[in-house]
Amino acid sequence: MTREDKLALAGDYVLGLLDDAEHRAFEQQAATDPELAAMATDFSERMLALDNTVTPAAFDPGLWARIERKLDTDAASNVTVLRPARRGMAQTRQWLPLAASVVVALGVGYFAGLALHPVEKPTVVAILLNQTDASPAVIVEAFADDSVRLMPLEAFAAPDGQVLQVWTLPDADTGPISLGTLQAAQDLRLTGPDLPLPQSGQLYEITLEPAPGSPTGKPTGPILVKGFAKTLVP
Amino acid sequence: MAIDNLDAATLIRRIAAGDRAALAQLFGAEAGRLVAIARRIVRRQDLAEEVVQDAFVAVWQRAGQFDASRGSAMAWLTTIVRNRALNLLRDSSCTDYHDGETLAALGDRNADVTNAFDALAERDALKACLGGLDEVKRRAILLCYVTGLNHGEVAATLNAPLGTVKAWIRRGTIALQECLS
């Protein structure tokens, strides 16, 4: 691409002439081409003078309130909207053999300080994805002693009267097992019931449940985040 | 109340830290200007307000991505508004040049372009460099930037073939950037 081609491309970008696909392609190219990126930045800074020729407009006095409402709705939806495909364990309704132990598991789950578990290698690691936009939301490390460590990558919390409940699905026959409940995503360690060693491909997820935990002992609320475990490369 | 780039950059950093009051302050200082910028593109007050509403929600979500080393705070903020306005215009693009109302709107776009150029400060190199371009190239560039038209709409507005308009804009933006640098 000649210098002139780059100037022309930066020009189209700043003038708003690129369609969506071209816009994305431009941003990818600019990320690795400092000359192109600088051209676009310089040109857009200079063209800003044209935007600044406007006389500020009057606007609806309720506009700020509308923005605040939108922010509040979005904040709430980070936790509650997420009406996802309830795939994974919800479809595998084969819980019978373990229904009893799941109830026990709810009682057993407890939080323990990380200090109690110094550097120790997890058996498997799972990245749980936000089911709204598929962005990574929580890292789960599962250890051989039936404990899991949660490391949230984004903040989310359960509204009043509800809890976040952490589940795993050791296998389809066993059905989902609760690893414990919490109010807000935080870096902590949960100790679940006695389970087989976590496997590669094992499902982990967090659902929103009524406090103090799912009334049925299996996931009933929306899945907020979920992901499949992988074994660490030795 | 006008704020400068440094103030805006400070506000954006506070917004990135989750400070709602900083967002309110940025809105108070800039909303009127941003509504006017969006209105030159989307041509309707209610749509311009919708653009600014969406833009401030985006500012709240993306303030952490602002990088002062890659441009000014004002350019960052204005670009978010411009891109929202352009998307809205493109998504609802049902421009029919035989429609009387649309012709009137095109006349308004031409007037906005003339006003924007005239209002540039005489000492601004942008004014001198734009002034140095052929009239058609200058107008084509301004119709795109100021009022958000695309190649085809500029061609219809200036009653020129599409290929010619594309060549004007290419040569015009290259000459403009050379002149500015």
Give me the pLDDT at residue A80, please: 35
Is A78 inside a domain boundary?
A: no
Whether B40 and B112 have beta carbons less than 8 Å apart is answered as yes
Mark whether A107 and A187 lie in a shared domain: yes
Using the beta-carbon criterion (under 8 Å), do B32 and A58 form an inter-chain contact?
A: yes
Residue A70 lies in a domain: no
What was the ipTM of the complex prediction?
0.92
Whether A7 and A98 map to the same domain: the answer is no
Measured between CB atoms, does B165 come within 8 Å of chain A?
A: no
> Could you say which of B142, B151, B173 has the minimum Cβ distance to residue A8?
B173
Q: What integer pLDDT is reported at residue A220 of this predicted model?
A: 86
Residues of chain A neighbouring B20 (CB-CB closer than 8 A): 68, 71
Contacts by residues B23-31 (CB-CB < 8 Å, ≥ 24 positions apart): B23/A67, B23/B56, B23/B59, B23/B60, B24/A64, B26/B56, B26/B59, B26/B77, B27/A64, B27/A67, B27/B56, B28/A64, B28/B1, B29/B1, B29/B2, B29/B3, B30/B3, B30/B77, B31/A59, B31/A63, B31/A64, B31/B56
pLDDT, residue B149, reads: 93
Residue with tokens 């404990």: A147
| Statement to judge: residues A90 and A41 lie in one domain | no
Residues A12 and A92 in one domain: no
Query: A83: buried, middle or exposed (CB in 10 Å: 19+, 13-18, 0-12)?
Result: exposed
Residue B78 with chain A: CB contacts under 8 Å: 48, 51
Q: Is residue A58 part of a domain?
A: no
User: In chain A, how many domains are there?
Assistant: 2
Contact status of A33 with chain B (Cβ, < 8 Å): no
A157 and A104 within one domain: yes
Please check whether residue A131 lies inside any domain of the structure: yes
> Considering the domain boundaries, does residue A127 fall inside one?
yes
| Amino acid, single-letter form, for residue B138 | R
- Residues in chain A, pLDDT under 50: 78-118
Strand, helix or coil at B124?
Answer: coil
What is the Cβ-side half-sphere exposure of residue A60, based on CA atoms within 13 angstroms? 14
Whether residue A47 is found in the same domain as residue A90: no
**Does residue A128 sit within a domain?**
yes
Check: CB of residue A7 under 8 Å from CB of residue B174.
yes
Three-state SS for A155-209 is CCECCCCEEEEEEEECCCCCCCEEEEEECECCCEEEECCCCCCCCCCCEEEEEEE
In-domain check, residue A94: yes
Question: CB distance B39–A70 less than 8 Å?
Answer: no
The pLDDT value recorded for residue B117 is 96
The reply to whether residue A56 touches residue B144, judged by beta carbons under 8 angstroms, is: no
Summary mean pLDDT of chain B: 89
First to last CA, chain B: 31
Q: How far is CA A230 from CA A98, A187, A233, in A?
A: 24, 20, 9
For residue A118, what are the contacts with CB-CB under 8 A and spacing of at least 6?
A: none
| Structure tokens belonging to residue A233 | 């490369």
Question: Is the domain of A29 the same as that of A108?
Answer: no
Task: Give the structural domain span for A39.
Answer: 3-51
Quote the CA–CA distance of A108 and B38 in Å, as a whole number: 57
Same domain, A43 and A124: no
Q: Which residues pair with A206 in a beta bridge?
A: A166, A225
Tell me the domains of chain B and their CATH numbers: 5-91 (1.10.1740.10), 100-180 (1.10.10.10)
Quick: pLDDT tens for B33-91. 999 999 999 988 999 999 999 999 999 988 988 988 888 999 999 999 999 999 988 87
Say whether both A9 and A97 belong to one domain: no
| Residue whose structure tokens are 């506070």 | B14
What are the tokens at B61?
Answer: 């979500």
Residue A114 and residue A47 share a domain: no
pLDDT grade, residue B174 (50/70/90)? very high
CATH code for the domain of A151: 2.60.40
Tell me how far apart the alpha carbons of residues B9 and A26 are, in angstroms, rounded to a whole number. Answer: 25
User: Where does residue A230 rank: exposed (0-12), middle (13-18), buried (19+ CB within 10 A)?
Assistant: middle
Same domain, A119 and A169: yes
Q: Which residues of B fall within a CB distance of 8 Å from A11?
A: 169-170, 172-174, 176-177
Are A38 and A93 in the same domain?
A: no
Residue A7: inside a domain: yes
Write the single-letter amino acid at A52.
N
